[in-house]
A and B are shown apart, each in its own frame.
Chain A
Amino acid sequence: MHYRYFPGCTLKTQAKEMEDTALAAASALGIELQELPEWQCCGAVFPLSDDELITLLSPVRTLAAAGGEPLVSLCAACHHVLKRAQEVIKRNPDTREKVTDFLEVDYAGEGRVLHFLEVLRDDLGFDRLKEQVSHPLAGRKIAAYYGCLLLRPAKEMQFDDPENPTIMEDLLRSLGAEVVSTAYRTECCGAYLSVTEEKVATATAEKIVHSARRAGAEALITACPLCRYNLENIGGPALPVYYFSELLAEALGVAALKEVARG
């Protein structure tokens, strides 16, 4: 189980604990995540206009660097941009030619682009993961929060059912936690609106957190640093928001290795 690993800018800064806990859990599970020797920011948002080629350069450079081996990322936004960039390269020969000529790389869309959750579900398997859980999160009522970028557009991301995903719930169950489900788990958290339209972002995030709290959740998990920031940056009683990897590491008993200062 060897993968090339793309961390993304935020995982080296504000979301350091996501990377540390994920890498610790991965090695405990015998999954080798070999960081790309050289990488840049994935671009955070996927360019939605066909004449925006410059913004494809960075993700395609990363895809080419993986050299056709399976490429794993932890952050939902990075996985979203990389996967859709690969899809464009596969589907649009004209764009491929322009971008790969400019980058002077030979890349035609080969290799699997995976999120770490997909590795756990499809390659490792949640049942084998359950066997390695030493500290089950017994009695912990956790709600899974997916957001947008992992699920949509479903035809390209092929991650899970966009309206009724189960991958995070299945992970939580294999970690022994008690799963709480809210219909807001696939609603947008407000994303980059928190920079310029903070009130709008806070309103959407509040709906999600309050619904989880009403459903009895004690904490939320997510796979996206921006979702976590928005879900914590709300008025009224908040809920702790963990990265899924933090609970994973805790259940595997490797979390205590490094006490992380929680904001």
Chain B
Amino acid sequence: MKTVPLKLVTIVAEAVLEDRLVRDLEAAGARGYTVSTARGRGSRGVRASDWEGGNVRIEVLVTDAVSDEVLHLLAERYFPHYAVVAWVERVEVVRGNKYV
């Protein structure tokens, strides 16, 4: 099976941010994304919308360049004030060309 190496960026953030994050991800060049509902605890503890839906967990398959762009915008627009965690890993994607 031919696969393409790509970056998988996983972002966990407070749920009120979902719409904005998704818009920013698409602007940064992501061709798609997957969102699921999550809850959690971090160093920050307090969440704005405590009883408003917890966290979202967003996954985006992107090229290295877009991955950098995404991390950059997280650092600039979200990390200073919001409860956001993000990590990156290298994965092999089937039909990977459609994300480039």
A and B interact physically: no
